[in-house]
């Protein structure tokens, strides 16, 4: 019987920190899993190294479901981003191995392609509206059909989603100690409809337009914003309020028809069960890396399908190319696919991660290599040591801590 002979964690920082799990079998087949948790990378690395990897050696790599149940129920302490990201990395690596052994791309193991390609949305940002409109134009010229628009809030020194001064890809984990940002809801509620209206005025309704509120409003503020955005026909308004308060979305739903997307901070089906079964959201954003891997993500998406909720997986630059590849295989295969976030990865990530996915006319495709279609260059990874970085903390004008 083929068995797992080694499971090992690789921490590397080509442009930003990534945590990758490498599983090797007695047949010499290697599978890769992403275990990156932005700002808490070493917590997952330690959970894997100390508590999971020793349990994997000797197991049958093809028993993916049994391994998932073994790691989830066997831990006794369930759920949470660290545990579920660690389980996800194992799960994705085992699906990679199964595909390589079968000689099939993972999506074919999941039932084959339900669509020709995966519609993606990109990030357009700007220190002000003119700069944002120029960035939207750049992305439309590159062929994107869906654009997330974020701009600085007038009067605030720093706003979520706006590039760092070095102009590189927006990277939220920017310092060894948390940066402290000031937040004020009133100017945001005034400027966001104007900003998104300016995008519609310049580009019309031929592109899908998305916006990320990033957890910062109260339910009634979110209802107000959603109503103000209705003339702009957003594809979705993301994370309007803190996601864990699922019942709060009943208030938002009472006040607006703007579609709602939530879920990037969720890590299990239990986190979103009420949102889905009460149809309080339109898109579920759970990611393959933070929500227990391909095995659990499929369960979440199957529940969502029953209630007319579509998928919209999180896909920022702080999930590795291994994660994006796995997401694309799931996206290609599920019946209720909605859209996939594609922020891209800052260089020199491509020195470490060799990917097989391709972009054309606004769609990504995972490719047809056996497995995930991604390989990791360990020698290159060793050239980029871990670089401790923290996510920012938000404070209101009175100094109290707010949601970032
Ligand atoms: C954002 C992320 O992409 C998104 O929708 O919410 O950029 C998020 O801020 C980061 O992934 C946090 O690490
Ligand atoms: Mg988001």
pLDDT tens track for 239-287: 999 999 999 999 999 999 999 999 999 999 999 999 999 999 999 999 9
Alpha carbon distances (Å) from 114 to 1, 50, 232, 278 = 34, 39, 30, 26
Domain shared by 98 and 219, yes or no = no
Domain shared by 270 and 289, yes or no = yes
Q: Which domain does 63 fall in, by range?
A: 4-104
pLDDT at residue 21 above 90?
A: yes
| Domain-located, residue 383 | no
Q: Which of 85, 235, 314 to mutate to test the pocket of ligand 1 (most atoms within 8 A of CB)?
A: 314
Could you read off the pLDDT of 175-207 as tens digits, one per residue? 889 999 999 999 999 999 999 999 999 999 999
Comparing C-alpha atoms, which of 223, 256, 257 is closest to residue 241?
223
Burial 122-139 (b: 16+ CB within 10 A, else e): bbbbbeebebbbebbeeb
Comparing C-alpha atoms, which of 290, 234, 209 is closest to residue 36?
290
CA distance 79 to 244: 14
Domain shared by 201 and 142, yes or no = yes
Q: Which atom of ligand 1 is nearest to the CA of 214?
A: 6
- The confidence band for 165, taking pLDDT boundaries of 50, 70 and 90, is low
Burial 225-242 (b: 16+ CB within 10 A, else e): bbebbeebebbbbbbbbe
Comparing C-alpha atoms, which of 240, 233, 191 is closest to residue 218?
240
Alpha carbon distances (Å) from 322 to 32, 43, 94, 318, 359 = 7, 19, 13, 11, 16
In this structure, the residue with its CA closest to atom 1 of ligand 1 is 316
Domain shared by 82 and 176, yes or no = no
Domain shared by 150 and 96, yes or no = no
CA distance 338 to 129: 28
Distance (Å) from CA 214 to ligand 2 centroid: 6
Residue 188 bridge partners (DSSP): none
CATH for 95 = 3.30.390.10
| Domain-located, residue 401 | no
Residues 6+ apart with CB under 8 A from 54: none
Domain's final residue, options 104, 123, 146 = 104
Q: Which atom of ligand 1 is nearest to the CA of 238?
A: 5
Domains: count for the chain: 2
Residues 6+ apart with CB under 8 A from 256: 222, 223, 225, 226, 227, 229, 230
For range 160-165, the mean pLDDT: 79
Domain shared by 30 and 126, yes or no = no
In this structure, the residue with its CA closest to atom 13 of ligand 1 is 38
Domain shared by 34 and 133, yes or no = no
| Domain-located, residue 382 | no
Q: Which atom of ligand 1 is nearest to the CA of 391?
A: 13
Domain's final residue, options 82, 104, 126 = 104
Share of the chain above pLDDT 90, in %: 95
Domain shared by 196 and 83, yes or no = no
Alpha-helical (H) ranges within 204-292 are: 219-229, 248-255, 269-277
Q: Which residues lie near ion ligand 2 (Cβ < 5 Å)?
A: 212
| Domain-located, residue 376 | no
| Domain-located, residue 153 | yes
> Is residue 366 a contact partner of residue 329, using CB atoms and an 8 Å limit?
yes
Domain shared by 84 and 206, yes or no = no
Comparing C-alpha atoms, which of 21, 109, 28 is closest to residue 64?
109
CATH for 165 = 3.20.20.120
Ligand 1 neighbours, Cβ below 6 Å, are: 38, 172, 212, 214, 264, 314, 316, 318, 341, 391
Domain shared by 95 and 18, yes or no = yes
| Domain-located, residue 395 | no
Q: Which of 243, 260, 264, 320 to mutate to test the pocket of ligand 1 (most atoms within 8 A of CB)?
A: 264
- Tell me the pTM: 0.98
In this structure, the residue with its CA closest to atom 2 of ligand 1 is 316
**pLDDT of the residue at 214:** 98
| Domain-located, residue 98 | yes
Distance (Å) from CA 89 to ligand 2 centroid: 21
* DSSP label at residue 35: -
Catalytic site residue 214?
Answer: yes
Q: Strands, DSSP E only, in 41-175?
A: 118-126, 146-151
DSSP 370-394: SBTSEEE-HHHHTTS-----B--EE
Domain shared by 117 and 149, yes or no = yes
Domain's final residue, options 64, 82, 104 = 104
Q: Which atom of ligand 1 is nearest to the CA of 39?
A: 13
| Domain-located, residue 122 | yes
Could you read off the pLDDT of 342-379 as tens digits, one per residue? 999 999 999 999 999 999 999 999 999 999 999 999 99
Domain shared by 66 and 131, yes or no = no
**Which entry of 18, 160, 170, 357 is annotated as an active-site residue?**
160
In this structure, the residue with its CA closest to atom 9 of ligand 1 is 172
Q: Which of 162, 212, 287 to mutate to test the pocket of ligand 1 (most atoms within 8 A of CB)?
A: 212
pLDDT at residue 168 above 70?
A: no
Distance (Å) from CA 262 to ligand 2 centroid: 8
């Amino acid at each position: 019987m083929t068995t797992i002979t080694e499971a090992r964690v690789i921490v590397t920082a080509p442009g930003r920190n990534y945590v990758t799990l490498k599983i090797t079998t007695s047949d010499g087949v290697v599978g890769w899993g992403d275990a990156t948790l932005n700002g808490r990378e070493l917590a997952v690395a330690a959970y894997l190294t100390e508590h999971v990897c020793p349990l994997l050696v000797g197991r049958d790599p093809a028993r993916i479901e049994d391994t998932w149940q073994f790691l989830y129920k066997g831990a006794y302490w369930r759920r949470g981003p660290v545990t579920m990201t660690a389980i996800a990395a194992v799960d994705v690596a085992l699906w990679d191995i199964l595909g390589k052994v079968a000689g099939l791309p993972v999506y074919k193991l999941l039932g084959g392609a339900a669509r020709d390609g995966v519609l993606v949305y990109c990030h357009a940002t700007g220190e002000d509206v003119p700069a944002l409109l120029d960035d939207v134009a750049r992305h439309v010229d590159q062929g994107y059909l869906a654009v997330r628009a974020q701009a600085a809030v007038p009067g605030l020194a720093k706003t979520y989603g706006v590039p760092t001064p070095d102009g590189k890809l927006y990277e939220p984990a920017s310092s060894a100690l948390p940066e402290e940002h000031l937040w004020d809801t009133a100017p945001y509620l005034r400027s966001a409809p104007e900003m998104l209206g300016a995008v519609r005025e310049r580009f019309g309704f031929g592109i899908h337009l998305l916006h990320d509120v990033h957890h910062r409003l109260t339910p009634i503020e979110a209802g107000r914003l959603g109503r103000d955005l209705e003339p702009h026909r957003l594809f979705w308004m993301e994370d309007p309020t803190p996601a864990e308060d699922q019942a709060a979305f009943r208030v938002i739903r009472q006040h607006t028809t703007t579609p709602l997307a939530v879920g990037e901070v969720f890590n299990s089906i239990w986190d979103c069960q009420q949102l889905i079964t009460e149809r309080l959201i339109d898109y579920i954003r759970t990611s393959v890396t933070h929500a227990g891997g391909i095995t659990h993500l499929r369960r979440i998406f199957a529940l969502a399908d029953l209630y007319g909720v579509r998928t919209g997986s999180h896909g920022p630059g702080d999930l590795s190319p291994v994660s994006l590849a796995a997401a694309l295989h799931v996206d290609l295969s599920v019946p209720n696919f909605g859209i996939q976030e594609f922020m891209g990865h800052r260089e020199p990530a491509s020195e470490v991660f060799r990917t097989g996915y391709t972009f054309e006319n606004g769609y990504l495709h995972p490719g047809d290599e056996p497995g995930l279609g991604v390989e990791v260059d360990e020698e290159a990874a060793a050239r980029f040591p871990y670089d401790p970085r923290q996510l920012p903390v938000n404070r209101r004008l009175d100094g109290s801590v707010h949601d970032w």
